[in-house]
Amino acid sequence: MTQSTATVIKHSEYISPTRRTVMGIIFLALSLGIWALFSRTVTADMQTTFGLYPGGSKVVVPDWVFPSLPMLNVLAFVGALVGAYQLARGFGRYTNTMLGVVSALFIFGFLVWGASDSSLNLAGLLKVAVVRAVPLTLGALSGILCERSGVFNIAIEGMMLTAAFCAALFGSLTNIWVGLFAAILAGALMSMVLAVLAIKYKVDQIIAGTVINIFATGITSFLSAKFLQKYEALNNSGRFGTWDVPGLSQIPFIGPIFFSHNLFIYAMFIFVIALTVALYYTRWGLRTRSVGEHPKAADTLGINVNRTRYFSVLLGGMMAGFAGAYFVLGSVGRFDEVMTAGRGFVGLAAMIFGNWHPVGSLGAGMLFGFADSLASKLAILKVPIPNKFLEMGPYIITMVVLAGVVGRGQPPAAGGKPYEKE
């Protein structure tokens, strides 16, 4: 190993003493929270029951029943050990991983506390979390396709809403497959509007995206009130049915959670894998990332910067269109005004949380979907916490991430900057 290579590896594993101390304090604070907030409020005779069978599998898994207090104490103790080791020696490059572990301990402790002397269908909770992660993850992938090429796309919300309207209308007039194609085409057309404004006319990309969002909200609301609400036959597209993956869907606990869904859930995982391979292991991906990082250098190597950006924005719009189709064809089977409810913006947050990487965005989408799913369960558990506070969780986490607690994000260096060929 050469000296320069060793220096690079050593630098990649280096964690400053201040950061090591801060992360250790955070670990200990989360562990203390498990003990102070959860352990101290339960009694020794309380038991927690977790349901491990969401339905859909021939193999029925019995409920997991255990004493609440000992489990909470174990979680707090393990978290404290991790925090103490972080303060003493540190985990190096695995610090962020251990932050995820301690955070998972805290969340699990919250579930144990919430279900003490009660029951919670854990498998059902996780299955709903996967479903609710779909539009967020697909929206994040749309943002990645655009921003990796250097074009900021905050118009994902408008693209998704327009696509949802087209899916409902054309799906009702013909069939759901035509509705899906119409939604993807609608997203593509909206993305071309953004691309022309941002690339050809060099309009500020934030302003261009905002205009598209406002236009989409207005036109879909008007057309919905004028036609879809008046003629019910135009707003009854139906939706894709559930398809069980043979064999895999029968795996106890895991099978129904991941392998008993409709088209959109499977497509989400396929798109994450495909986009990761395309961006990081193909010539197209290298060129796309190069025009987003240093377009002048890419131009000198013969890469057509603007054409590459047009194509990436088009793909991003098609992804947003597919995400918009989910709201109608994968969920409720009809269009309602402003039914995306800001999930395009949450998808952007998932993209930033995932550091502009498809796999990271999937993880962020799952986390946001889990928080959304859990918020709907609080009323059942009778937890004395308003569900709105839990719904704030993903956004608070995003602000913490943006503040640099888990490391600095690395957006494309040329993002949002129009390129002018010299």
- Residue 137: which of 341, 314, 349 has the closest Cα? 349
| Per-residue confidence (pLDDT) for residue 140, from 0 to 100 | 96
| Per-residue confidence (pLDDT) for residue 11, from 0 to 100 | 40
- Low-confidence stretches of the chain (pLDDT < 70) are 1-14, 56-57, 379-380, 382, 387, 390-391, 393-395, 397-398, 400-409, 422
DSSP state of 116: B
Q: How many CB atoms lie within 10 A of CB 5?
A: 9
Integer Cα distance of 369 and 102 in angstroms: 19
| Per-residue confidence (pLDDT) for residue 408, from 0 to 100 | 58
Per the listing, tokens 């393990």 go with 78
Q: Half-sphere exposure of 163 toward its Cβ, with a 13 Å CA cutoff?
A: 35
Return the domain boundaries, the chain. 15-116, 128-402
- Dig out the tokens for 95 from the structure: 């610090």
DSSP state of 335: -
pTM: 0.90
Per the listing, tokens 């396709």 go with 145
| Per-residue confidence (pLDDT) for residue 357, from 0 to 100 | 93
| Per-residue confidence (pLDDT) for residue 410, from 0 to 100 | 78
| Per-residue confidence (pLDDT) for residue 317, from 0 to 100 | 97
Instruction: Give residue 274's identity as a one-letter amino acid code.
Output: A
Give me the CATH topology for the region 128-402. ABC transporter involved in vitamin B12 uptake, BtuC (1.10.3470)
